Amino acid sequence: MQEFLHHLRTIQFALSFVCFSVDTVLSSIHSEVPGMGWFILPDFITLSLSGYYIITVGKQWNKNTANSDVALNIFLIILWIIYGSSKAYTFSKLIVVSGATGAQGGSVVNSLLATGHYKIRGLTRKPDSDKAKALKSKGVEVFKCDLSNKDEVKEALKGADIAWIVTNFWDPSIVGQDVNEEVRQGKMIADVAKEEGVNWLFYSSLPNTTTESGGKYSEILHFAGKNNVEQYIRKLGIPNVTFNYLGFYSQNFGGSVPTKQKENGEIEIVFPYLEEDDKIPMIDVESDTGPIVAKIIEEGPEKWNGKKVPVAAEYATLKSIAESFTKATGKTHKIKTAHNDEEVAKEFPPSFNNEEFKQMYKWFKEFGYYGKDTEVNDLSVAKKLHPNIKTFEKYVLEHYGKA
Ligand SMILES: NC(=O)c1ccc[n+]([C@@H]2O[C@H](COP(=O)([O-])OP(=O)(O)OC[C@H]3O[C@@H](n4cnc5c(N)ncnc54)[C@H](OP(=O)(O)O)[C@@H]3O)[C@@H](O)[C@H]2O)c1
C-alpha cells in the first residue's frame, strides 16, 4: 500500500509538472497576455501542489505515514479533477469570428485572445493578407471563407460552439452589385449555423428603420437588412442567439463624416440635417467592441440568450463632439449642418449623396440612431459589461491629441 501510494504521488507530480509546462506554452501561443484572468488559477494550484508535494515527500520518505499519505492522495486527486475539468473547459470552446480582419471582428478576436480561454477561428477571403498573417501570428486559426459561399461557410462553422458574425453591407460585392446580398448572406450563414449545431450565434444587427418608421424611411438597407436577418435568426431554433447593436463609429470622422478647413482656420464638421443639439451613440469600434462581446461570452448564454446589446459608450451631442476636437487639437471645430438635399449634394461626394445615406440621417434626426427601442437605448448595459469603455472625448484625445 505504502509503495503504491508513493508511486501514485510520483505520477501525479510528474503529470502536474508536464501539464503546467504545456499549459504555459499554450498560454503564450494563444494569448498576447499569457496567463491572465482566472485562467491561471489551475496553474497556480498545480504549481503549489507540486512544491508542497516535493517538500512533503522529502520529509516523509522513510517514515510510516500511511494515514497522512491516504489523506494527501485524496486531496491531490480532488485537485486534479478540478484542474482537469478546468483545462478541458478552457481549451474546448471553438469560437468562429467573421470580419476578423475588419474593425468589429478584429476587436472581438483581440479581446477573446486576451482571455486565453478559447480557440479562435478568424474568417477572411484573403488568408495571405498582412492582416490575416498578423492574426495567425497571434494564434488565430485563419480560415479562408467567402461569406457569400455556402460550402465555405459550412466548412468554416464545422465544430464551432459559438459564432460571432458581422456582414459588411459596404463591401463592393454588396453595395456595388446587389444590395439585397447582405440579407441573403446573413440568413444563409444562420441556416448553416443551425445545420452545424452551433450552440450560440451572435449577429451584428441594427434597427429596422423601415418598419419602425412606418415605411417612411424604407431605403436604409444597411440598417433594415441586418434587422431582417436578426428576425430570421430568432425563429430558426438555434439554442442561443444574441444581437450586438454597434453605435456610430468614432472612426467615421474624416471618412463618411467630412471635415473642412475654412479660410479663418476653423474646421467645420459637416452633418446632413443634424444640428448641434442632436445626439448620436458613439463607439470606438476597434477598442471597445471586443471587451463587450468577451464579457457576454464569459457570463454565458443563459443570461444573454435573445438579448439585444448596444455597443456604444455614450450619447454625444454634435456640439460636444466639436468641442472634443477643439480641445484635443487646439483648433476651433464647429458643426455645419447641410439642411436640405441641395446642401447635402453640395457638401458630399456622390457616394454619400444618395437616398440610403440621406434617409439614415433623417432617421437619426426623427427617431434617434437606435430608434425608440428601450432595450437597445439602454447604454448602461454596455458600460456594465465594459466599465472602461471610451468616451468620445477620450477617443479624440488619443487619436488627434497634440503631440
Ligand atoms: N460605420 C459605422 O458607424 C457602423 C455602425 C454600425 C454598423 N456598421 C456596419 O458594420 C459593417 C462593417 O463592419 P466593419 O466596420 O467591422 O468592417 P470593415 O472594418 O470594413 O471590414 C470588413 C470585414 O468584412 C470582411 N468581409 C467582407 N465581405 C466578406 C465576404 N464576402 N466574405 C468574408 N468576409 C468578408 C472583410 O474580410 P476580408 O476582406 O479579409 O475578406 C473584413 O474583415 C457594415 O455592415 C456596416 O453597416 C457600421
Binding site membership of 169 for ligand 1 (Cβ less than 6 Å): yes
Binding site membership of 124 for ligand 1 (Cβ less than 6 Å): yes
- Do 156 and 285 lie in one domain? The reply is yes
- Do 306 and 393 lie in one domain? The reply is yes
Nearest C-alpha neighbor of 184 from the set 153, 161, 215: 153
Question: What ligand 1 atom has the least distance to the C-alpha of 98?
Answer: 34
Binding site membership of 186 for ligand 1 (Cβ less than 6 Å): no
**What pLDDT, in 10s, does the model give residues 111-150?**
999 999 999 999 999 999 999 999 999 999 999 999 999 9
Domain boundary among 91, 118, 144: 91
Instruction: Dig out the grid coordinates for 25 from the structure.
Output: 506554452
Residues 238, 240: Cα–Cα separation, whole Å: 6
CATH of the domain at 353: 3.40.50.720
Nearest C-alpha neighbor of 189 from the set 245, 238, 126, 143: 238
Distance 373 CA to ligand 1 centre (A): 24
- Do 33 and 154 lie in one domain? The reply is no
The residue whose CA is least distant from atom 15 of ligand 1 is 103
Confidence at residue 216, expressed as pLDDT on a 0 to 100 scale:
98
Binding site membership of 249 for ligand 1 (Cβ less than 6 Å): yes
What is the total count of domains within the chain?
2
Pairing of strands 94-97, 119-124: parallel
Rounded to 10°, the helix 355-367/221-236 angle is 70
Domain that holds residue 30: 2-91
Distance 169 CA to ligand 1 centre (A): 7
Single pTM value for the model: 0.84
Instruction: Dig out the grid coordinates for 114 from the structure.
Output: 486576451
- Do 239 and 380 lie in one domain? The reply is yes
Distance 322 CA to ligand 1 centre (A): 27
Instruction: Dig out the grid coordinates for 20 from the structure.
Output: 503546467
Which helix (H) or strand (E) covers residue 122, if one does? strand 119-124
Nearest C-alpha neighbor of 242 from the set 148, 163, 185, 154: 163
Distance 368 CA to ligand 1 centre (A): 23
pLDDT over 50 (residue 30) = no
- Do 83 and 99 lie in one domain? The reply is no
The residue whose CA is least distant from atom 7 of ligand 1 is 246
Residues 206, 369: Cα–Cα separation, whole Å: 9
- Do 248 and 102 lie in one domain? The reply is yes
Instruction: Dig out the grid coordinates for 287 from the structure.
Output: 477598442
**What pLDDT, in 10s, does the model give residues 207-264?**
999 999 999 999 999 999 999 999 999 999 999 999 999 999 999 998 889 899 999 9
- CA torsion, ordered 105, 294, 305, 282, to nearest 10 deg: -60
Angle at 30 between CA 27 and CA 33, to 5 degrees: 65
Tell me the residue type at 293: V
Residues 306, 380: Cα–Cα separation, whole Å: 18
Binding site membership of 224 for ligand 1 (Cβ less than 6 Å): no
Residue 88 confidence class, pLDDT cut points 50, 70, 90: low
Distance 108 CA to ligand 1 centre (A): 13
Nearest C-alpha neighbor of 310 from the set 232, 365, 243, 220: 243
Confidence at residue 323, expressed as pLDDT on a 0 to 100 scale:
98
The residue whose CA is least distant from atom 10 of ligand 1 is 168
**Residue percentage of the chain with pLDDT more than 70:** 80
Residues 382, 374: Cα–Cα separation, whole Å: 14
- Do 55 and 103 lie in one domain? The reply is no
Residues 25, 361: Cα–Cα separation, whole Å: 50
Q: How far is CA 330 from the centre of its chain?
A: 33
Q: What is the mean pLDDT of the chain?
A: 89
Per DSSP, the residues of 214-232 read: TTSS---HHHHHHHHHHHH
- Do 82 and 125 lie in one domain? The reply is no
Binding site membership of 166 for ligand 1 (Cβ less than 6 Å): yes
Q: State mean pLDDT over 167-194.
A: 97
Nearest C-alpha neighbor of 281 from the set 182, 211, 186, 383: 383
In terms of DSSP H, where are the helices of 158-308?
181-195, 209-212, 221-236, 285-299, 301-304
Binding site membership of 168 for ligand 1 (Cβ less than 6 Å): yes
Q: Are 242 and 296 in contact (CB under 8 A)?
A: yes
Q: Are 273 and 339 in contact (CB under 8 A)?
A: yes
Domain boundary among 69, 91, 113: 91
- Do 86 and 98 lie in one domain? The reply is no
Binding site membership of 146 for ligand 1 (Cβ less than 6 Å): yes
Site to substitute for ligand 1 among 168, 209, 253, most atoms within 8 A of C-beta: 168
Residues 108, 98: Cα–Cα separation, whole Å: 10
Q: Give 55's strand partners.
A: none
Domain boundary among 36, 62, 91: 91
The residue whose CA is least distant from atom 17 of ligand 1 is 102
Instruction: Dig out the grid coordinates for 127 from the structure.
Output: 488568408
Distance 106 CA to ligand 1 centre (A): 10
The residue whose CA is least distant from atom 14 of ligand 1 is 103
**Residue percentage of the chain with pLDDT more than 90:** 74
- Do 67 and 215 lie in one domain? The reply is no
Confidence at residue 38, expressed as pLDDT on a 0 to 100 scale:
47
Binding site membership of 252 for ligand 1 (Cβ less than 6 Å): yes
Binding site membership of 178 for ligand 1 (Cβ less than 6 Å): no
Q: State mean pLDDT over 369-396.
A: 98
Tell me the residue type at 167: T
Q: What is the DSSP letter of 336?
A: E
Residues 111, 32: Cα–Cα separation, whole Å: 10
- Do 162 and 32 lie in one domain? The reply is no
Q: Are 28 and 34 in contact (CB under 8 A)?
A: yes
- Do 203 and 244 lie in one domain? The reply is yes
Distance 166 CA to ligand 1 centre (A): 7
Distance 82 CA to ligand 1 centre (A): 41
| Cell 440568450 sits on residue | 305
Which helix (H) or strand (E) covers residue 54, if one does? helix 40-60
Q: State mean pLDDT over 347-358.
A: 90
Instruction: Dig out the grid coordinates for 316 from the structure.
Output: 454625444
